[in-house]
Amino acid sequence: MKIPIIYEDENIIVVDKPAGLLVHPTSKKEKDTLIDFLIKKYPEIKKAGDSSERPGIVHRLDKDTSGLIVIAKNNKTFFHLKNQFKNRLVEKKYLALVAGKLRDKKGIITKAIGRSRKKGIKQTVAPIVPRKEAITEYEVLKEYKDYSLINAIPKTGRTHQIRVHLASIGHPLAGDTQYKFKRQPCPKNLERQFLHAAYLKFRLPNREIKEFNSNLPKDLEKVMNELV
């Protein structure tokens, strides 16, 4: 699998992750993850971070989500970036295709997220409670007959946050097999969830601001071209 590196310096690596690639091994000890690739190319990242299984990783993307991810090359940068993510100082934007048309063209979803007891669903929403807060802003960019293309802007970093939040307001991601509704249609040629990390902005320890953009990958572009 080709893994595009769109930027690197002595402190960070920014990757445009393709869909279908795990960021790091899970409990199943998978191989050929993004971390496996990066360690071979940048062995120095082994010393970065607070976990030997996730060296340099300060945030993650789902396996089937494509787009931008930043990896720290050293501890100073790792903890600096981790603190920015924790304090909501990193700007992230995702392009998402959702089922249906949203009543409000702009909005903020504030629903806490926790593990669900239902088989096959890992996360669920609940009213806001301490330490489980989850916030996602969204804006509709374009509407189609059965779908809407939106900008999703997560202000927190819960597992599956965008996917769970959008499903909770009745507009699950197109192609999302885990949080879809019964009999939910799937756009032609879509073989994974339509979610792409398109924008990332953060500050390095030297106070330099870094900003990155990523266009839709070809598989999602093809889907968009078939919509009416």
Q: What is the pLDDT of residues 32-53, one digit of tens each?
A: 899 999 999 999 999 998 888 8
Domain with CATH 3.30.2350.10 in the chain: 1-87, 92-228
Q: What average pLDDT does this structure show over 2-14?
A: 94
Check residue 31 and give its pLDDT: 78
Q: Which of helix, strand or coil describes residue 95?
A: strand
Taking only the tens place, the pLDDT of each residue in 136-194 is: 999 999 999 999 999 999 999 888 999 999 999 999 999 999 998 888 889 999 999 99
Whether 36 sits among the annotated catalytic residues: the reply is no
Q: What is the third-level CATH fold of 1-87? A: Pseudouridine synthase (3.30.2350)
Would the CA dihedral through 98, 95, 53, 85 be positive or negative?
Answer: negative
Beta-carbon neighbour count of residue 131 at 10 Å? 5
Lowest mean pLDDT across 55-64, 90-99, 108-117, 195-204: 108-117
pLDDT of residue 130: 43
pLDDT digits (tens, 9 = 90+) for 74-88: 999 999 999 999 999
| Look-up of token digits 């007891």 | 117
Q: Which of 16, 32, 62, 219 is the catalytic position? A: 62
Which fold, 92-228? Pseudouridine synthase (3.30.2350)
Report the chain's mean pLDDT, rounded to a whole number: 90
CA distance 45 to 76: 12
Mean pLDDT across the stretch 78-102? 96
